[in-house]
Amino acid sequence: DTALLEQHFNEKIDQDIRIEPKDWMPDHYRKTLIRQISQHAHSEIVGMLPEANWITRAPSLRRKAAALAKVQDEAGHGLYLYSACETLGVDRDDLFADLHSGKAKYSSIFNYPTLTWADMGAIGWLVDGAAIMNQVPLCRASYGPYARAMVRVCKEESFHQRQGYEIMLTLCNGSDEQKKMAQDALNRWWWPSLMMFGPTDKDSKHTEQSMRWRIKRFTNDELRQKFVDVTVPQAELLGLTVPDKDLKWNEERGHYDFGEIDWKEFFNVISGNGPCNKQRIEARKSAWDNGAWVREAANAHAEKKAKRKAA
Ligand code: 3HC
């Protein structure tokens, strides 16, 4: 009966035994995974847009090649994650419909504009840096397909982070104009990167249950703190100033103390009113409509092939 099944499920979670698609799982666990994995996939796909804006504007062939490779990687990450999500019994087209209708979320960070080339450096350094902080523990998530998808994603993310930091380093060792661009990008991307980790633990409605089910291995605030502790010294190495007057090393805590996040901005952005939300969803909807003929052709070809095989 269900109580026994639930008890057996909880024992597997407590013993770090992976839950696989064919295993019994509580409906709420399944729903939480569908919500998180689909929104993670949407984040990867929407995340291609701000960076794609600079592929044709990259300052050199080397930078263009790296930007192309990174955006292509994000597409791949999205496809892995949609596949992982489908193992939970959902249809990919329904997930896309939820994104296009505004029902599903994607990472808040992608609703900000990429105004200068330095933004490509700041995104690789800070956004992929934050994504790595959040995704490495997900390699140990209790749901097998999600954890396994993360292993491959994390390998590629470290290239993303390194190429971003190298862009920032080049700019900071360049002309005054270039250094100013790097500082301006840090000023605009710092706080939105901290918001990527989600609301504070006390305001996070899912964290406690996700920790219990070992989907999350650390809370939002713990990962955010780790990100600040690692990233501030990197900013110092660049000779850049983090735009937070309350940022200070706290010897006692062994962590940086930092200022209050503007949660009004965060909740505004995730409810669809950020600087670029409309533009991002419009871009996704027109890509979906313009790509309909490709899907129809691929399906027709697959049906013909299946008929030939059956004949
Ligand atoms: N952007 C948008 N929505 C967010 C958010 C953010 N940064 N942080 C939290 N939220 C939403 C949650 O989805 C939830 O809303 P919902 O119930 O409608 O889904 C609500 O705010 C409450 O937040 P919780 O902290 O309670 O929710 P979670 O337990 O789901 O934690 C999370 C949020 C930490 C983002 C978690 O979902 C997670 O780890 N997701 C997987 C990782 C992910 O999506 N990372 C995005 C990185 S971007 C990326 O990967 C691209 C990279 O390659 C550049």
Q: What is the pLDDT of residues 251-272, one digit of tens each?
A: 999 999 999 999 999 999 999 9
For ligand 1, say whether the CB of 124 is within 6 Å of any of its atoms: no
Would you say 75 and 48 are in contact if contact means Cβ atoms under 8 Å apart? yes
What is the model's pLDDT at position 96? 97
- Give how far Cα 99 sits from Cα of 43, 95, 240, 285, 287, Å: 10, 6, 37, 9, 13
For ligand 1, say whether the CB of 32 is within 6 Å of any of its atoms: no
Would you say 142 and 208 are in contact if contact means Cβ atoms under 8 Å apart? no
At 37, the pLDDT band (50, 70, 90 cuts) reads very high
Tell me the best of 39, 142, 163 to mutate to test the pocket of ligand 1, counting ligand atoms within 8 Å of each CB and taking the most.
Answer: 39
d(CA 234, CA 145): 33
Reply yes or no on whether the pLDDT at 185 is more than 90: yes
What is the model's pLDDT at position 203? 97
At 250, the pLDDT band (50, 70, 90 cuts) reads very high
d(CA 147, CA 149): 6
* H or E segment and range at residue 95: helix 92-101
Structure-block tokens of residue 191 = 């706080």
- In three-state form (DSSP H/G/I as H, E/B as E, the rest C), the secondary structure along 156-177 is HHHHHHHHHHHHHHHHHCCCHH
Mean pLDDT of 86-95: 97
Q: Which atom of ligand 1 is nearest to the CA of 128?
A: 54
Mean pLDDT of 187-205: 98
Reply yes or no on whether the pLDDT at 305 is more than 90: yes
For ligand 1, say whether the CB of 47 is within 6 Å of any of its atoms: yes
pTM score: 0.96
Structure-block tokens of residue 70 = 């990174």
Reply yes or no on whether the pLDDT at 200 is more than 90: yes
Would you say 231 and 126 are in contact if contact means Cβ atoms under 8 Å apart? yes
Mean pLDDT of 159-166: 96
Q: Which atom of ligand 1 is nearest to the CA of 206?
A: 26
Convert the pLDDT of each residue in 136-152 to its tens digit: 999 999 999 999 999 98
What is the model's pLDDT at position 311? 84
What is the model's pLDDT at position 296? 96
Assess: ipTM above 0.95: yes
The residue whose CA is least distant from atom 8 of ligand 1 is 198
Mean pLDDT of 219-232: 98
Please state, rounded to an integer, the average pLDDT across all residues of the chain.
97
Structure-block tokens of residue 192 = 């939105």
Q: Which atom of ligand 1 is nearest to the CA of 108?
A: 1
Residue whose pair of structure tokens reads 């690692």 in the numeric block = 230
Quote the percentage of the chain above a pLDDT of 90.
98
Q: How far is the CA of 302 from the centre of ligand 1 (A)?
A: 36
Q: Which atom of ligand 1 is nearest to the CA of 110?
A: 48
Question: Which amino acid is it at 272?
Answer: G
Reply yes or no on whether the pLDDT at 199 is more than 90: yes
At 184, the pLDDT band (50, 70, 90 cuts) reads very high
Mean pLDDT of 46-74: 96
